[in-house]
Amino acid sequence: VEASIPEELREAWKKHSATEFKNKDEFERDLVRHIETTLARSMYNCDELAAYSGTALAFRDRLIIEWNKTQQRQTFKDQKRIYYLSLEFLMGRTLDNAMLNVGLKDAARDGLSDLGFQIEDVINQEHDAALGNGGLGRLAACFLDSMATLNYPAWGYGLRYRYGIFKQEIVNGYQVEVPDYWLDNNPWEFPRHEITVDIQFYGNVKKYQDESGKIAHSWEDGEIVQAIAYDVPIPGYGTKTTNNLRLWSSKASSGEFDFQKFNAGEYESAVADQQRAETISAVLYPNDNLEQGKELRLKQQYFWCAASLFDIIRRFKKTKRAWGEFPDQVAIQLNDTHPALAIVELQRILIDKEGLEWDEAWTIVTKTFGYTNHTVLPEALEKWSVPLMQNLLPRHLQIIYDINMFFLQSVEKRFPNDRDILSRVSIIEESHPKMVRMAYLAIIGSHKVNGVAELHSDLLKTTLFKDFVKIYGPDRFTNVTNGITPRRWLHQANPRLSALIAEKLGSYDFLRDLTLLDKLEAFVDDKAFREEWAVIKRENKLRLARHIKATTGYDVNPNALFDVQVKRIHEYKRQQLNIFGVIHRYLSIKAMSAEEKKKVVPRVSIFGGKAAPGYWMAKTIIHLINKVADVVNKDPDVGDLLKVIFIADYNVSKAEIICPASDISEHISTAGTEGSGTSNMKFVLNGGLIIGTCDGANIEITREISEQNIFLFGNLAEDVEELRHRHFYGDFKLDPHLERVFNAIKDNMFGDKADFSALTSSIEDHGDYYLVSDDFNSYITTHEMVDEAFQNKEEWLAKSITSVARMGFFSMDRVTNEYADSIWNVEPLDVTD
Ligand code: GPW
């Protein structure tokens, strides 16, 4: 559709082209105009929510202007673009980030103050955009921030869930899930009602001869659901680039069919059809590191992949290039296997719709895709039942079988004497029912596969994907260690620390090149600087203490050691190890004389995180933490020496308060189970030390900041298999300190012991799969070392400063550049002209 204004009329447009506010006065003008017109409110009727909406609209105008220009520039330059396909984008709040990225937060602060508002209160009105579960979704959000900041032409593609991750309430110590309806007056999304794609499900496949006599396939009948695009602008920091995140929403297709139903008086059934269609994008599956194999989830995956590919291909076709150039224009990154169907869908379009030969199409497909694996946990690896897929996506299943056949033929040719390898690497698992192994499909359909930290990538190559390394050679597999955006996780979350660093380094350039932090090491002995550093940590702890008081009613002592573990609750992440350690500490304090108690370093143990609604053991862990808190926090024998806090509804905006306030944080997964972890990086970047196992990115953090600045403990990944094996054969002895803890639980010290028996018996009676007992002694001894180190304030400060100075490697910008060079082969787009 040509909707462009003729050349001779464009002067009139240019004269009135929208302009951006550039200072406080212009901001105030735009803010008041939006409040009085867009919101139809006035100075007699303006609460903080209206002030927030007005401010958001004023900044949104700026983003839109740059967003339009960026899209025009990218279309004009017509370079290769990156498409990041992720079922999760855990964005958090947008306003504060937008203010900082465009460099006008001070103007907004002053302007709001002139009009009677405090900027912090206004920022706090915003609801988090929480379209993700945890690390995987937050990584996608950090990618978007970095890609825009580095001027890469990049799009995110996701689903516009009506309900994001549930809100968590704690009632009588139990998690209660409350729906997160986040879409009402969300100013950051733009419905594009004109951008729609019809998506087909079910039906059947017809074979026919095309004009040239070739056998061809067409997918017919079934049902159609419509995808509608909603766009979200993604501004970079200190750049004009504003990229696009496109989220698809589902709706009943407004075809004749429904119209006929309405006309035939079948009003109710027509409405029911509508609701069924809308169900596809209704809710985010709330599982982290778990796949349940539900049909609706597969529908979500195909719906989103098909709509995104249609959109990408539509854009490519406008350039009138030959299909062979597709991989020179398009790089698609698969965030885990959730979008692996995109591989099959592209192959289908090329052979069924565009008439390409199989081999020609397959070359294009494999050059286009890259696949990132985030876990080795077996329960998280996606497998779809063949009958389910046969019913929902009959043509795709055929193509998967063909991909598999050609692949197995080539394997057979290369390894003629190895019969077993074929069944091991087959995309189809020969079980009952047969299953489609999505990770294998993703490997076979991509030119690069990467893990997210060194240990994790090594484990992929030596265990899960070993056969594929043999088949394809080691070059198809690579590592890109995760990172985080320093804009949100330092500058936005910890403005005072960011300002102090800027003062010392002479500018905020470190926010665009985090390796500049290394210059901080020169100031580690600077007395005034150290004092300022300590004051900022204290202020941040006070801010968290106020939040704890307001939400739990508990007072915590800001001089105590703040010990934090916030992340999804999972047995492999071992919050149970932490809470057992807390009970051990509690019992030790109870047994002390008054004299001995004087030597105890006061602690606040802070937990936060959601359990998947169906994950019983995770919910039991939350329950135990809250019960321990009930007992410990009101025990006069303990007083300020120990407090236990569970912060409800941990999310991105709470992380921004919590990360800057830790003295120590816990990253204590069973070695070999955590892909990378990214909150470890957030805490260290904010001057907290960490206690952790040799797992995920903890290992690279240790390499960067040195062993002296981290508290490592526990068995190594290489020992895990053997230990589990031994447990299985009865060689298991409960650690004596842990036994004391279990005895306390069994004495009903924290309420009915029956409530926690699943937890204790998974360790005592069922093989202790996560090695809690094996690591317990090492864990509590290391915590004693933490106490000791914390008493030496000067040394602790030196560790904190040195660690921050050495965190440059963990910038998401480094990560993005590595993907761009080694996977995408994409260049940034020059925005100066
Ligand atoms: F199972 N991760 C996550 F691999 O947050 F898909 N959710 C998930 O469903 C998966 C992984 C999946 C996390 C990893 O657990 C974490 O170690 C990693 O840092 C993060 O993804 C980002 O790579």
3-state DSSP percent of the chain in helix, strand and coil, to 5? 55, 15, 30
Model confidence at 1: pLDDT above 50: no
DSSP assignments along 692-736, one per residue: E-S-TTHHHHHHHH-GGGSEE-S--HHHHHHHHHHHHTT-----H
Measure CA 294 to chain center.
Answer: 22
Q: Is residue 669 within 6 Å of ligand 1 at its C-beta?
A: no
For residue 711 the two structure tokens come to 């508290």
Instruction: Please name the residues in contact with 235: beta carbons below 8 A apart, sequence gap of 6 or more.
Output: 63, 66, 67, 97, 98, 101, 102, 148, 241, 242
Mean pLDDT over 548-563 rounds to 98
Give strand ranges (E) for 103-151: 129-131
Q: For the stretch 575-591, what's the b/e string if a residue is b when 16 or more beta carbons lie within 10 angstroms of its beta carbon?
A: bbbbbbbbbbbbeebee
Query: What are 160-218's pLDDT values in tens digits?
Result: 999 999 999 999 999 999 999 999 889 999 999 999 999 999 999 999 999 889 999 99
Separation of alpha carbons 813 and 809, rounded Å: 9
Mean confidence (pLDDT) of the chain? 97
ipTM above 0.90, yes or no: yes
Token pair 């401010």 is found at 55
- Nearest CA-CA partner of 368 in 450, 321, 312: 312
Atom of ligand 1 at shortest range from CA of 375: 4
Residue 455 burial (10 A CB sphere; 0-12, 13-18, 19+): buried
Check if the beta carbon of residue 217 is closer than 8 Å to that of residue 206: yes
Angstrom distances, CA of residue 224 to CA of 203, 267, 274, 278, 577 = 10, 19, 11, 12, 49
Measure CA 538 to chain center.
Answer: 29
Distance 563 CA to ligand 1 centre (A): 23
Residue 682 annotated in active site: yes
Query: What are 620-650's pLDDT values in tens digits?
Result: 999 999 999 999 999 999 999 999 999 999 9
- In single-letter form, the type of residue at position 222 comes to G
Token pair 């920091």 is found at 237
Separation of alpha carbons 492 and 521, rounded Å: 23
Q: Is residue 674 within 6 Å of ligand 1 at its C-beta?
A: yes
- In the three-class reduction of DSSP (H, G, I as helix; E, B as strand; rest coil), residue 604 is classed as strand
Distance 815 CA to ligand 1 centre (A): 16
Q: Is residue 128 within 6 Å of ligand 1 at its C-beta?
A: no
Residue 549 annotated in active site: no
Mean pLDDT over 809-833 rounds to 95
Mean pLDDT over 66-78 rounds to 96
Q: Is residue 288 within 6 Å of ligand 1 at its C-beta?
A: yes
Measure CA 824 to chain center.
Answer: 21
For residue 744 the two structure tokens come to 């306390």
Active-site position among 24, 60, 448, 682: 682
Distance 765 CA to ligand 1 centre (A): 29
Distance 287 CA to ligand 1 centre (A): 11
Active-site position among 573, 585, 623, 737: 573
Given ligand 1 and candidates 88, 89, 131, 288, which is best to mutate, with the most ligand atoms within 8 Å of its CB? 288
Check if the beta carbon of residue 696 is closer than 8 Å to that of residue 677: yes
Separation of alpha carbons 823 and 826, rounded Å: 9
Distance 286 CA to ligand 1 centre (A): 13
Measure CA 50 to chain center.
Answer: 30
Active-site position among 374, 456, 491, 727: 374
Residue 257's pLDDT band (boundaries 50, 70, 90)? Answer: low
pTM above 0.95, yes or no: yes
Separation of alpha carbons 636 and 625, rounded Å: 19
- The pLDDT, as a whole number, for residue 832 is 77
Separation of alpha carbons 704 and 804, rounded Å: 10
Q: Is residue 336 within 6 Å of ligand 1 at its C-beta?
A: yes
Atom of ligand 1 at shortest range from CA of 137: 5
Q: Is residue 375 within 6 Å of ligand 1 at its C-beta?
A: yes
Other Cβ atoms closer than 10 A to 442 = 26
Distance 123 CA to ligand 1 centre (A): 29
Q: Is residue 273 within 6 Å of ligand 1 at its C-beta?
A: no
Distance 374 CA to ligand 1 centre (A): 5
Active-site position among 24, 41, 512, 568: 568
**Helical residues (DSSP H) of 553-659, grouped into ranges:** 575-590, 594-597, 616-633, 652-658
Closest residue by CA, ligand 1 atom 10: 289
- The pLDDT, as a whole number, for residue 513 is 98
Residue 374 annotated in active site: yes
Residue 109 annotated in active site: no
- In the three-class reduction of DSSP (H, G, I as helix; E, B as strand; rest coil), residue 89 is classed as strand
Sheet holding 428-429, edge to edge: 383-385, 435-437, 428-429
Atom of ligand 1 at shortest range from CA of 377: 1
Token pair 């842990």 is found at 738
Q: For the stretch 189-219, what's the b/e string if a residue is b when 16 or more beta carbons lie within 10 angstroms of its beta carbon?
A: beeeeebbbebbbebeeeeeeeeeeeebbeb
Q: Is residue 688 within 6 Å of ligand 1 at its C-beta?
A: no
Residue 833's pLDDT band (boundaries 50, 70, 90)? Answer: low
Separation of alpha carbons 661 and 654, rounded Å: 11
Q: Is residue 142 within 6 Å of ligand 1 at its C-beta?
A: no
Separation of alpha carbons 297 and 309, rounded Å: 18
Active-site position among 678, 693, 760, 782: 678
Contacts 24+ apart (CB under 8 A), 177-185: 177/286, 177/613, 180/130, 182/127, 182/128, 182/129, 182/130, 185/53
Residue 552 annotated in active site: no
Separation of alpha carbons 686 and 295, rounded Å: 42
Atom of ligand 1 at shortest range from CA of 675: 17
- Nearest CA-CA partner of 159 in 307, 27, 5: 307
Separation of alpha carbons 128 and 654, rounded Å: 10
- How do strand 369-372 and strand 223-235 relate by DSSP bridges? unpaired
Distance 743 CA to ligand 1 centre (A): 35
Atom of ligand 1 at shortest range from CA of 482: 23
Separation of alpha carbons 215 and 236, rounded Å: 49
- In the three-class reduction of DSSP (H, G, I as helix; E, B as strand; rest coil), residue 506 is classed as coil
Given ligand 1 and candidates 86, 136, 301, 449, which is best to mutate, with the most ligand atoms within 8 Å of its CB? 136
For residue 519 the two structure tokens come to 């210059």
Residue 756 burial (10 A CB sphere; 0-12, 13-18, 19+): buried
- In the three-class reduction of DSSP (H, G, I as helix; E, B as strand; rest coil), residue 289 is classed as coil
Question: Cα torsion for 491, 493, 499, 501, to the nearest 10°?
Answer: -70
Check if the beta carbon of residue 460 is closer than 8 Å to that of residue 373: yes
Check if the beta carbon of residue 139 is closer than 8 Å to that of residue 108: no
Phi, psi of 194 (to 5 degrees): -85, -15
Separation of alpha carbons 305 and 299, rounded Å: 10
- How do strand 167-171 and strand 204-209 relate by DSSP bridges? unpaired
H or E element at residue 584: helix 575-590
Token pair 């180190």 is found at 789
- The pLDDT, as a whole number, for residue 269 is 85
- Nearest CA-CA partner of 34 in 13, 57, 63, 2: 57
Biggest CA–CA distance in the chain, Å, is 95
Residue 60 annotated in active site: no
- Nearest CA-CA partner of 375 in 288, 308, 478, 499: 288
Angstrom distances, CA of residue 572 to CA of 379, 567, 617, 697, 815 = 12, 12, 11, 15, 26
Closest residue by CA, ligand 1 atom 8: 289
Distance 416 CA to ligand 1 centre (A): 37
Query: What are 395-409's pLDDT values in tens digits?
Result: 999 999 999 999 999
- In single-letter form, the type of residue at position 340 comes to A
Check if the beta carbon of residue 374 is closer than 8 Å to that of residue 675: yes
As a residue count, the chain comes to 833
Q: Is residue 698 within 6 Å of ligand 1 at its C-beta?
A: no
Separation of alpha carbons 619 and 613, rounded Å: 8
- How do strand 428-429 and strand 242-252 relate by DSSP bridges? unpaired
End-to-end CA distance of the chain: 28
Residue 255's pLDDT band (boundaries 50, 70, 90)? Answer: low
Model confidence at 763: pLDDT above 50: yes
Q: Is residue 695 within 6 Å of ligand 1 at its C-beta?
A: no
Cis-peptide into 433, omega within 30 deg:
yes
Residue 545's pLDDT band (boundaries 50, 70, 90)? Answer: very high
Give strand ranges (E) for 730-782: none
For residue 143 the two structure tokens come to 């990618």
- In single-letter form, the type of residue at position 702 comes to T
Check if the beta carbon of residue 558 is closer than 8 Å to that of residue 541: yes
Distance 140 CA to ligand 1 centre (A): 11
- The pLDDT, as a whole number, for residue 259 is 66
**Helical residues (DSSP H) of 375-432, grouped into ranges:** 386-392, 394-414, 419-425
Check if the beta carbon of residue 225 is closer than 8 Å to that of residue 46: no
Distance 101 CA to ligand 1 centre (A): 27
